[in-house]
Amino acid sequence: MYQFTLAVIFRYLIGVGDAAVRNFIWLPNELKLYSVDDENWMGEKPQVNYYKSERTSMIRGYLIEKYESMIQPVVIRWKKSFEDNKIHFGKLTDFVENRFPHILQKDKVVVLFDVNK
């Protein structure tokens, strides 16, 4: 659940909207998850709540339980890496800067996965 949650949050950060299972490859022997089919960056959907499935509820529950201990440290590292390297992001820079506030705080990222919205 950890890798899948991070992958979906990262897809949100760069504006890749389709979180269908077909867009992830799980390699159980390596314990790795790969996000694929993500060539369409900077999608204009303002929230992730279009992931209306049982996975959405699972991600939301995982975020409520594990955000501070498991997810937030990774998102903070992403933010630092982005800040250190944003000269290389080109037109993606403003888009990502505008999305970071939605994933840096638990209450805001949990709302993204509220299927009742």
Domain ranges of the chain: 2-112
pLDDT reported for residue 51: 55
pLDDT reported for residue 76: 97
How buried is residue 17: exposed, middle or buried, by Cβ count under 10 Å (0-12/13-18/19+)?
Answer: middle
pLDDT reported for residue 80: 96
**Do 24 and 8 meet the contact criterion of CB atoms below 8 Å apart?**
no
Query: Cβ of 7: how many Cβ atoms within 10 Å?
Result: 19
Which is nearest to 51 in space by CA: 26, 21, 30?
21
Helix (H), strand (E) at residue 82: helix 72-85
Give the chain's residues under pLDDT 70: 38-54, 117
- Residue in this structure with the two tokens 């204009």, named with its chain if needed: 44
Output phi, psi for 27, to 5 deg: -110, 95
